[in-house]
Amino acid sequence: MKILFFTPYYKQNRGNATTAKRIVHGLRLMNIEVFVFAYEEENWSHQWQQILLEVDLYHILHLRRFASWQKQQEISLEKTYVLTSGGTDINEDLADAYARELMGNVADDSCSVTVFTEDGKRKIEYSYPELAERTHVIPQSIWLPDAKQTTNELPKGDPVIVLPAGLRAVKDIFYLWEAFKELAADYPELKVVFVGAVLDDSLLTEVNVREKNNSWFSYIGEVSLEEMHHIYEQADIVINSSLSEGQPTALLEAMHAGRVVIARDIPGNRSVVIDQDNGFLFHSNQQFKAIVCELMSDPLKASNVAAQGRRYVANHHQLTTEISAYVDVYRHCIRKATN
């Protein structure tokens, strides 16, 4: 089986790249030949056109981005293909009529659409009822490559709170700022560290100003996937404050590393965080602060929740399970195309 995998990003360390690298790695472990084209980072060429014609199937990540790119390039998809929603395309882009129509044009001719959560499936089916029978839920797994040496040492603190997120609006990185300030007054050793690529220069400017004016806050920039395990090991708490998520792999990675996770109560986060069991969910700054204070006063509870998070990932988000589900979809689509 030969697959051409289309992803918006593969080089830059952001969510789509993490998803693509994990799936491609898993497919290659199953001896499937995979060609990866990052359509937001590379130029289409005659060589890629030849590969387009030679493979058995296309796997496309992110509906809206790919639909826009394909329209600009005027590329015809000659083989059967599978679409995977990355999260933003269904949580944000479906609200825009033009984007919804553009995505629908690509989705109409797909063999299958995969999403990470039941919430994602409901959103796809609401906007495109005709896709209901071919939309499948395949939860994400985690894959952290073998760790490599890194100079990214986090500031020492108690506690150390890490927010792994690209600097862009949907991540709502300053949502918890008031809680951070109050916690810094209560816990003089507190450190809050943002980790992620710069995707919005205006947010970077604001981050730099706040870093200069608050000794408890640091931003260490973009970190490779290979270095992230070392980042998690240095954290006490890993958080997610996004406005929307598909399914947050950073939280799963943090759980796998044995760290306590605290996440905003949104559908994507609820798909992996069971409140008070394998992590915590919050609705407000006040609730977030209360959770942190509880963890600081009850280390045993923090340890138990972290251990439950690690067990949860081991039981529900294994790479082999995820990749086997994709391969089953591929085989179905190839059989359907050849009959």
311 and 167 within one domain:
yes
132 and 25 within one domain:
yes
330 and 309 within one domain:
no
% of the chain at pLDDT higher than 70: 99
48 and 170 within one domain:
no
- Does residue 328 surpass a pLDDT of 90? yes
Give me the domain span that covers residue 280: 160-316
pLDDT at 106: 87
331 and 196 within one domain:
no
240 and 292 within one domain:
yes
167 and 299 within one domain:
yes
Which DSSP string corresponds to 242-268? -S--S--HHHHHHHHTT-EEEEESSHH
pLDDT at 22: 95
Query: pTM here?
Result: 0.89
> Is the residue at 94 inside a domain?
yes
CA angle centred on 20, ends 19 and 25, rounded to 5°: 105
CATH number of the domain at 38, please: 3.40.50.2000
CA distance 244 to 265: 10
> Is the residue at 147 inside a domain?
no
> Is the residue at 251 inside a domain?
yes
123 and 185 within one domain:
no
- Does residue 88 surpass a pLDDT of 80? no
285 and 183 within one domain:
yes
> Is the residue at 149 inside a domain?
no
pLDDT band of 155, cuts 50, 70, 90: very high
> Is the residue at 148 inside a domain?
no
230 and 169 within one domain:
yes
Number of domains in the chain: 2
The sign one gets for the Cα dihedral 137, 321, 224, 47 is negative
137 and 204 within one domain:
no
Condensed to tens digits (0 to 9), the pLDDT of residues 216-246 reads: 999 999 998 889 999 999 999 999 999 998 8
> Is the residue at 235 inside a domain?
yes
18 and 135 within one domain:
yes
Average pLDDT, the chain: 93
> Is the residue at 154 inside a domain?
no
pLDDT at 150: 66
CA distance 58 to 63: 13
> Is the residue at 146 inside a domain?
no
